[in-house]
């Protein structure tokens, strides 16, 4: 990497691509290159950020002299784009899910190893200050022995039937791949490796939209290697939305409500107190961390193996959902 500002590119100009572009800017680095297959979209975004526009990643890698890129495209393209960049010795922050299948993940991991180039995955919730506070509290034994975990990420994604999210060949799955991939990683980050997982999934025609080719709602039950039990709920069709993480132990409970970004601790006697947490938003903190990893001053908090493991857990969950009787 250059001795001065790193040269960063972003592939994909949708909402998550813009989140990465803005995060790099807040982290003090203006991206120099933006790529997207939509010429009009990429020209507009490039002009907004003062970057060079490309409609082809090969051209961007050939003349961008880049140190690192964020891959913020649909899952079906993650493996090919990531491998292309790694072969060019360009570090990659790949958005979740890492890929559609474990085989695709393994190809990405191999490319990172062979080319000795940094690869990490966008599990941004690991960088949420409140999640870090929960992890620290668990380690300190503040709520005793942790026994259960509950996470619900849900909310109406109206019009999803008209997007690639509902097309399995592109997305690799429905709400499991889109939402529960974060939840599985959160469980692993806070409580350790997943030992068992089961799932029930459904898609239902309602006033909010038709039944989909993929699941629009899912419930997972899982258990850590240490015996902690977890429940993960997700839906694109329920309203109002809810985003909550709750960890319960023998001597208390911690709960984060993403709607208010309020972290509360409930003691054995029922006394509730707010845990004061400060810090930048998770995307900015993720960007800062990635830039430090590119500079060689930090080790990645999310490894390629973490990205692949989440996909493996979801594959097991999907298989269990299909096994009836």
Closest residue by Cα to residue 185 from 124, 118, 249: 124
Residue 45 has a pLDDT of 97
DSSP 64-92: S--SEEEE-S-GGGHHHHHHHHHHTT-EE
Span 311-322, mean pLDDT? 95
Q: What is the pTM of this model?
A: 0.96
List pLDDT tens digits, range 129-187: 999 999 999 999 999 999 999 999 999 999 999 999 999 999 999 999 999 999 999 99
* Statement: residue 3 has pLDDT above 90: no
* Statement: residue 2 has pLDDT above 70: no
Count Cβ atoms below 10 Å from residue 10 Cβ, excluding itself. 32
**Cα 37 from Cα 171, distance rounded (Å):** 17
**Cα 30 from Cα 25, distance rounded (Å):** 5
List pLDDT tens digits, range 78-113: 999 999 999 999 999 999 999 999 999 999 999 999
Residue 324 has a pLDDT of 54
4 pLDDT tier (thresholds 50, 70, 90): confident
* Statement: residue 325 has pLDDT above 50: no
List pLDDT tens digits, range 272-283: 999 999 999 999
């Amino acid at each position: 990497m250059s001795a001065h500002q790193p040269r960063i590119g972003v592939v994909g100009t949708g909402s998550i691509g813009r989140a990465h572009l803005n995060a790099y800017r807040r982290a003090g680095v203006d991206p120099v290159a933006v790529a997207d297959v939509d010429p009009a979209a990429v020209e507009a975004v490039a002009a907004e950020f003062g970057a060079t526009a490309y409609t082809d990643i090969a051209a961007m890698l050939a003349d961008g002299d880049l140190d690192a890129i964020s891959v913020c495209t649909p899952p079906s393209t993650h493996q090919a784009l990531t491998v292309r960049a790694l072969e060019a010795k360009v570090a990659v922050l790949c958005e979740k899910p890492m890929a559609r299948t474990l085989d695709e993940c393994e190809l990405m991991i191999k490319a990172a190893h062979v080319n000795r180039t940094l690869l990490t995955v966008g599990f941004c919730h690991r960088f949420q200050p409140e999640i870090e506070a929960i992890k620290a509290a668990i380690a300190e034994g503040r709520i005793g022995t942790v026994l259960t975990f509950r996470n619900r990420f849900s909310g109406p994604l109206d019009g999803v039937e008209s997007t690639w999210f509902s097309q399995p060949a592109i997305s690799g799955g429905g709400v499991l791949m889109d939402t529960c991939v974060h939840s599985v990683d959160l469980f692993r980050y806070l409580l350790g490796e997943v030992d068992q997982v089961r799932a029930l999934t459904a898609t239902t025609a309602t006033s909010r939209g038709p039944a989909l080719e993929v699941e629009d709602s899912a419930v997972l039950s899982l258990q850590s290697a240490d015996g902690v039990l977890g429940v993960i709920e997700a839906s694109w069709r329920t309203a109002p939305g809810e985003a909550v993480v709750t960890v319960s132990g023998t001597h208390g409970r911690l709960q984060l409500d993403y709607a208010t970004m309020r972290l509360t601790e409930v003691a054995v006697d029922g006394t509730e107190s707010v845990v004061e947490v400060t810090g930048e938003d998770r995307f900015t903190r993720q960007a800062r961390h990635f830039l430090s990893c590119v500079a060689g001053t930090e080790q990645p908090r999310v490894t390629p193996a973490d990205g692949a493991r989440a996909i493996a857990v979801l594959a097991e969950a999907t298989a269990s959902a299909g096994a009836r009787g």
